[in-house]
Amino acid sequence: MDLRADWLDADAVAILLVAAGWWWASIGALRCGRARAASWSVAVAAATSAAYVSPMLAPMTAATWYAFGLAAPQAALDTRWRRGGAVAGFVLGGIASGLLVADSDFPPAWLVVLAWGSVAVAAAIALAVRYVRTGPDQRAQIQLLCAAACLGTAFAGGVSALSLLVSVPADPRPWIVGALVLLPLAAAAGWTSVRARRSAERLLIESVTVAGTALLAGAVYLVVVVGLGRTPSVEERQILALSLLAAMILAVVALPVRTRLLALGASLVGGRQEGAEQVLSGFGARMSRAIPMDELLLQLVESLHATIAPGGAEVWVGEEGALRRTVSVPHSIVARLDLDADTRRVVGGARIGGRHWVSIWLPQLLGPTPAAERATAAPQTHGGPPGDDLRVVPLAHLGTLLGLLVVR
C-alpha cells in the first residue's frame, strides 16, 4: 500500500484539518461522559487520519462516515437495517480500497463525487427517519448536524462556482474537503453545549437560508455566464469577480432594505395598524432571539396597547400566589397581588376572563390599588367606568398559576 507522497500538499492539509476536528470532538464527548459518542468519534477520526496517511484508504473512510451517520445521534446502530447498512458500507469500502491498491488510477473523478454524494444522501435519510422518533435533545443534535451540512454544501458550491467562473481557487478540492470540518464541530456542540442545542432550530433555519441563497446565486451565474454565454477570458474575470461581489452585497442588504421601504410606503399612505395575530406572532418570533425577557414583555404590552388595548395592558408574574406587576402601559409602579390557594387553582384553570369573572375572582384588578402599592402611592383605580372592557388571560403551566396578562 502506497503512502502519501506529499504530506503537506493542499489535499493532505484539508484531510488533516477534518481529522483534527474529529479528534477534538472525541475529547469533548469524553469530558461530558458520552462514552459511546466518543468511541464513534474516535473511529471516524482514526479513519480520516488513515486517509491522510494513505489515500488508498479513502473508501474505508467514507464507509466509516456513513456508519456514523447511521448511528447518530444516539451513537448506536439499534436496528437491523442500520447494522446491515453499516456492514454493507464497510464491505463496499474494502472492495474499493482493494481496487485502489491494485490500480491507483482506478476511480474517475465523477465516481468519487458520486460515492461521497451517496454517503451523504443515505446518512441524511437515516437521520430523517430517526428525527421523527426521537426526543427533543437528540432532535437538536440532528438539527446541528444538518445545519453544518447545509453550510458545508453552500461553501462547497460557492467555491466550485468561483473556480469555474474566475479560477479562484484554481483547485477547489482542498477547500471542499476542508469544509467537512463543520460536521465534527457540530457533533461536538450537540454533545457538549446545552446552549447550542437550545439554538439548534434557529441555526438550522438560518443555515438553510444562507445555503439556499448561496447555491441559487452560484447556479444563476453558472447558467447565465457559462451556460448561455461562454467561459470568461482572463481579462474578463476581474469584471466578473466584481459583479459577484456586488451580487453578494445585494443579497445581504436586500431583505432589511425591503422591510424599511415597506414601512415607509405604509406610512406614506396613512399606515396600517398591526393586527392581534401579528402582535402574537411577532412576540413569538422575538422569543427565539437573545432578547431579555423584561424587554420582550414590554414590547408585548406596548404592541397590545397600540392595537387591542387602548385602556392599557399589564403583565403580572410571580409564584406561590404572590404576583407582581412587572410591566404596564401606561406606566405604573410595581404592585403586588396576593392570591389564596383556591383562587390560584380556579384562575390557573381558566382560559380567559371578562369583567364579571374578574369581579368575582380578582376584584383587586377592578378596585383600588393593591395594598403593596398603597404604601408608596396615592390610591388610584386600575379600570375606568364599570362599562369599560377588560380581559384577563391567566398564564399557567399544568394548572400552576405563573402570571396574568391584563388587557383594558
**3-state class (DSSP) for residue 337:** strand
302 is written with which cell numbers?
406596548
Indicate the range of 290-299, 316-325, 354-363 predicted with least confidence: 290-299
How does DSSP assign 127-143, residue by residue?
A: HHHHHTTS-HHHHHHHH
Residues 273-308 pLDDT 10s: 555 555 555 655 555 555 677 777 887 888 888 777
Amino acid letter, 245: L
Residue 150, φ and ψ in degrees, nearest 5: -65, -45
How far apart (Å, rounded) are the C-alpha atoms in residues 220 and 20?
35
How far apart (Å, rounded) are the C-alpha atoms in residues 60 and 100?
11
Residues 152-171 pLDDT 10s: 998 998 888 888 888 888 88
Taking CA 182 as the corner, what is the angle to CA 220 and CA 240, rounded to the nearest 5 degrees?
A: 25
Task: Produce one character per residue of 230-265: b if its CB has 16 or more CB atoms within 10 Å, e if not.
Answer: eebeeeeeeebbeebeeeeeeeeeeeeeeeeeeeee
What domains, with CATH codes, occur in the chain?
10-231 (no CATH), 292-407 (3.30.450.40)
Burial of 71 (0-12, 13-18, 19+ CB in 10 A): buried
Closest CA to 64 of 81, 41, 82: 41
Give the pLDDT of residue 382.
42
Task: Produce one character per residue of 192-203: b if its CB has 16 or more CB atoms within 10 Å, e if not.
Answer: bbeebbebbeeb
**3-state class (DSSP) for residue 393:** strand
Give the pLDDT of residue 274.
53
394 is written with which cell numbers?
391567566
Amino acid letter, 148: A
How far apart (Å, rounded) are the C-alpha atoms in residues 295 and 115?
51
Residues 21-51 pLDDT 10s: 999 999 999 999 999 999 999 999 999 999 9
Per-residue pLDDT, averaged over 207-232, amounts to: 81
**3-state class (DSSP) for residue 239:** helix
Closest CA to 73 of 183, 199, 205: 183
The most confident of the ranges 47-51, 266-270, 369-373 is: 47-51
395 is written with which cell numbers?
398564564
Indicate the range of 91-95, 210-214, 330-334, 387-391 predicted with least confidence: 387-391
HSE-up of residue 233 (Cα within 13 Å, Cβ side): 2
335 is written with which cell numbers?
404592585
pTM of the model: 0.63
Give the pLDDT of residue 281.
58
